[in-house]
């Protein structure tokens, strides 16, 4: 029971963070445009990463596809973290590091979900012929 609650808490936290950023990406909010312009990926990187994050959030919430969603999430968020560390900085447009902290939380939740479902990874990479 405790493991189920913990798993659902991780799923919900990761999905909510992923979903709440979509509004800013899809409405071309100033901060999102600034970030992706600085990365040289505006508008395609902003919209593309938003689409991947949307799929990741949905997949994370479906128990049978949590692993796939967590892998997508960890991948896209790893890119965000690397962008913060090497290009953008921890603090973006005086946000106090909020975007970076949310990315770290999402990455941690996704990584724990991957670890919890690690026994399913071989089935993901097996090709059926």
Q: Is residue 53 part of a domain?
A: yes
| C-alpha separations of 5 from 1, 2, 11, 41 in Å | 6, 5, 10, 38
pTM over 0.75: yes
| 129 lies in some domain | no
Whether residue 15 is preceded by a cis peptide bond, meaning omega within 30 degrees of 0, is no
Phi-psi region at 28: left, alpha or beta (left = phi > 0; alpha = psi -120 to 50)? left
User: Domain range for residue 76?
Assistant: 2-120
Rounded to whole angstroms, the Cα distance separating 7 from 56 reads 16
Q: Is residue 8 part of a domain?
A: yes
Residue 103 pLDDT exceeds 80:
yes
Residue 85 corresponds to which tokens in the numbers above? Answer: 């560390």
pLDDT digits (tens, 9 = 90+) for 33-88: 999 999 999 999 999 999 999 999 999 999 999 999 999 999 999 999 999 999 99
Residue 58 lies in a domain: yes
């Amino acid at each position: 029971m405790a493991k189920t609650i913990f798993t659902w808490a991780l799923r919900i936290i990761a999905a909510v963070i992923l979903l709440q950023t979509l509004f800013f990406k899809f409405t071309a909010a100033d901060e999102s445009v600034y970030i992706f312009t600085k990365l040289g990926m505006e508008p395609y990187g902003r919209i593309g990463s938003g689409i991947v994050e949307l799929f990741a959030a949905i997949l994370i919430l479906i128990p049978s596809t949590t692993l796939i969603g967590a892998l997508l999430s960890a991948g896209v968020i790893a890119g965000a973290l690397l962008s913060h560390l090497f290009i953008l900085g921890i603090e973006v447009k005086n946000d106090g590091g909020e975007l970076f902290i949310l990315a770290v939380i999402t990455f941690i939740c996704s990584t724990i979900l991957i670890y919890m479902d690690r026994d399913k990874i071989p089935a993901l990479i097996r090709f059926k012929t």
